[in-house]
A and B are shown apart, each in its own frame.
Chain A
């Protein structure tokens, strides 16, 4: 048996090194040096953006938008600009942002400072989901330390620049993680998505230009500036995978983008439980189409997964072994979207209710042979018709499960038919 040596991590290691919640250990390890250089004008905004572009960094919140390009979109002469950090982390089975917040709050603060100094924002809001009690306490304590040391607030790093960072808490709504719904929520309203365009870069918080990034995305920024984009890229570039479900060692793993699904499961996460066989895995949260055994050697990167009709999303790998019932899993997933649908558009609101009813009926032994075609019809009706990606996440998984695990649906329905 060959043993697998996990590659050295460059982002996650900050959260795995004890003591990094405190300012002094973080600074001693080289932390805040990149932000200091930006504040001192040693690194111009253009140079920061160039480095991000060269690094290939793409948004870690789910959409994978190139980060350097997003920063470039922010108009430079606006009177007021905001930075907003998406720490809603609502995509099922994603927990990398929480891991970073609890272990390396200063890394995020440094990323926020660099973002604010680069786009000319004096204020940044960190929107954390309410349930992140420990993460919020850790971040607030770190912010206090950074403020006391003059790194946050008035005249950061002794410069003439002010950057205030405010932690804001959500109140329990998955849709609030969608960037425009998050802005609505931050403005004190129901978290209903806005029509785009305009994009937040042009008209975001209070209709001001707003740079909105995910927690993990901003945690990569100081690392890129410290190592340089070339060395950063040599690490993969790195991505944080949240691996959960039927694996021996669930957890967050930093691996090169393009790592094989097989390696994530069997090398990083310790494999399946004894005697179990691989059945399926969601590669990027429950909004991504599940993969099956044929896909174990697919590289976990944006393009390879998109070609399959799935996506890297938030890189949350949910591993399912042969003990699981796929109809139950899909029913639970669709029910989640029903619960979390904001109700704004009809295909999502009604489609998720209807699909859940049919799936529940099948699970309870009252399924009819024509139900499978009905589910496919609902999925078709929700494809390309929803106002935002929430509803659009349902059809791919539903359709894939009907293709790969049709026999499981049919067994439920055959049992129901015999019983009558």
Chain B
């Protein structure tokens, strides 16, 4: 197998996790935040990242992996540089999100849950983002886009190199 060599969490990530542990009475409370720290560093929760978190929190790897697999926003497989989340719940559905999902799919050549071959985008259809006054709502990384129409999508994608 090629690719970068396996590495545990970096010093910065370990220091951040140690800070997080201090916020709670029990160290396992820092697990979700620590997984986000590891995910930011590794791009996704690789087996090495999971092992690093387990070590930092003194938890069994199996427990860490089990918790990570429960939540939608932990990525156990590599994702693109940018993650596009298109809401498909009721308010967005009633306001035409199906056409938005279709256009994203056509422009990127991927289906929901897939990543473009160049590793730039992962497309995901998601449940309610609680931005229903702006339906159809789309989240790209940490940015919320309001009242997105199929015609907006080319310009929107350009913003994320």
Pair A250/B139 contact, Cβ less than 8 Å: no
0/1 interface trace, chain B 134-159, chain A, CB 8 Å (1 if under): 01000100111000000000000000
Structural contact, A189 and B67, CB atoms closer than 8 A:
yes
Minimum CB–CB distance from B80 to chain A (whole Å) comes to 17
- Between A and B, 7 residue pairs with Cβ closer than 8 Å are A93-B90, A93-B132, A95-B131, A172-B74, A187-B26, A286-B89, A336-B89
A255 — which chain B residues lie within 8 A by C-beta? Answer: none
Which listed residue (B72, B129, B130, B144) contacts A173, Cβ 8 A? B72
Q: Is B25 an interface residue (CB 8 A)?
A: yes
Further pairs besides A133-B143, A174-B127, A191-B70: 8, Cβ < 8 Å: A90-B130, A129-B130, A131-B85, A189-B28, A246-B94, A318-B94, A328-B93, A332-B93
Q: Is B129 in contact with A131, judged by CB distance below 8 angstroms?
A: yes
**Are B94 and A320 within 8 A (Cβ)?**
yes
B144 engages A250 (CB within 8 Å): no
Considering only residues 17-33 of chain B, those with a C-beta below 8 Å from chain A are: 23-26, 28-33
**How many residues belonging to A are interface residues under a CB distance threshold of 8 Å?**
54
Determine whether the beta carbon of A242 is less than 8 Å from that of B132.
Answer: yes
What is the chain B residue whose CB lies nearest that of A190? B70
Given contacts A93-B89, A166-B23, A244-B135, contact A173 B70 (CB under 8 A): yes
Check if A63 is an interface residue, CB within 8 A of chain B. Answer: no
Known: A95-B131, A95-B133. A187 touches B29 (CB 8 A): yes
Contact B73 A206 (CB under 8 A): no
**A132 in contact (CB, < 8 A):** yes
B135: A residues at CB distance < 8 A: 244, 250
Residues of A within 8 A of B71 (CB): 170-173, 191
| Given A171-B32, A206-B25: A98 in contact with B130 (beta carbons within 8 A) | yes
Q: Contact string, A304-336, partner B, CB cutoff 8 A, digits 1/0?
A: 000000000000101010001000110011001
Q: Are B130 and A172 in contact (CB under 8 A)?
A: no
B128 within 8 A of A: yes
Within 8 A of A (CB), among B97-154: 127-133, 135, 139, 142-144
Would you call B36 an interface residue if the criterion is a C-beta within 8 Å of the partner chain's C-beta atoms? yes
> A residues within 8 A CB of B85?
131
Render A159-173 as a binary contact track against B, CB cut-off 8 A, 1 for contact: 000000010111111
Interface membership of B84, Cβ < 8 A: no
Within 8 A of B (CB), among A78-97: 80, 89-95, 97
Instruction: Give every chain B residue within 8 A of A93 (Cβ-Cβ).
Output: 89-91, 128, 132
Cβ contact within 8 Å between B93 and A329? yes
Contact A188/B32 with A171-B72, A172-B72, A318-B90 known, Cβ cut-off 8 Å? yes
Cβ distance A108 to chain B, nearest Cβ, rounded Å: 15
- Does A130 sit at the interface, judged by CB under 8 A? yes
Cβ–Cβ < 8 Å partners of A320 in chain B: 94
Residues of B within 8 A of A89 (CB): 130
Residue of B33, B90, B139 touching A245 (CB-CB under 8 A): B90
* B91 in contact with A244 (CB, 8 Å): yes
Instruction: Answer whether A134 and B130 are a contact pair too, CB < 8 Å, given A173-B71, A329-B90, A336-B89.
Output: no
B2 in the interface (beta carbon within 8 A): no
Contact of B67 among A129, A131, A188, A324 (CB under 8 A): A188
The interface centre, meaning the residue of A91, A189, A320, A333 with most chain B CB atoms within 10 A of its CB, is A189
